[in-house]
Amino acid sequence: MILCDSNIFLIDRFFKRDEHYAVNRRFVETLPTLDAGIAIYNLFEICGIASFNLSPKELEQWFYHFDELFKVQVVYPKGLEQTLEKYFETLTPELFRLFGKRMTFVDAQMLSLAEEHRATHLVTWNKKDFEGRTKIAVMTPETFLAG
């Protein structure tokens, strides 16, 4: 699985003048041919950012139909069937392991989920936030497309 970070989708939807837009768009167009996903945490992050530009109805549609719009799966953490208390007992040490590598909360959640689901690639425009912190291949959309 290839886990994509939120910036890829934000650039595609809201930042058409971004210097990376053209290559980002080409990457988004390949998503239907890939086993690609977005962490539920990143989807919530996107919705928070998009709330400044979308109506509540548009935002709700974007959230509930994101997988259809971008042809990616929404990836959830494993173990959600346990109690919330037990889930956080398991998650907390993992997050602090990643905080020890100087990661933000959202980046740590994304990386934790990528490792939990054995992602082969993490695709992001913020490579520096993940490089040296995981064995997963970290690539920009541009380097991913270059093969």
Could you read off the pLDDT of 36-80 as tens digits, one per residue? 999 999 999 999 999 999 999 999 999 999 999 999 999 998 877
Q: Phi/psi of residue 73, each to 5°? A: -95, 145
For the chain, counts of helices (H) and of strands (E)? 8, 5
Instruction: Determine if the pTM surpasses 0.85.
Output: yes
Residue 102 belongs to domain with CATH number: 3.40.50.1010
- Residues above pLDDT 90, as percent of the chain: 82
pLDDT band, very low/low/confident/very high, at 86 (cuts 50, 70, 90): confident
Domain of residue 80, residue span: 2-146
Q: What is the mean pLDDT of residues 117-134?
A: 96
Residues 6 or more apart whose CB falls under 8 angstroms from that of 85 comprise none
How many domains are contained in the chain? 1
From CA 99, how far away is CA 139, in angstroms rounded?
A: 21
Q: Which residue has the tokens 């996903």?
A: 37
- Residues above pLDDT 70, as percent of the chain: 100
Q: Phi/psi of residue 124, each to 5°? A: -155, 155
Q: What is the mean pLDDT of residues 131-144?
A: 96
Q: What is the mean pLDDT of residues 5-19?
A: 96
Q: Write down the pLDDT at residue 94.
A: 85
Q: Write down the pLDDT at residue 75.
A: 96
Cα distances from 106 to residues 48, 79, 146, in angstroms, run 13, 19, 27
Residue 103 has pLDDT above 80, yes or no: yes
| Of 98 and 8, the one with more pLDDT | 8
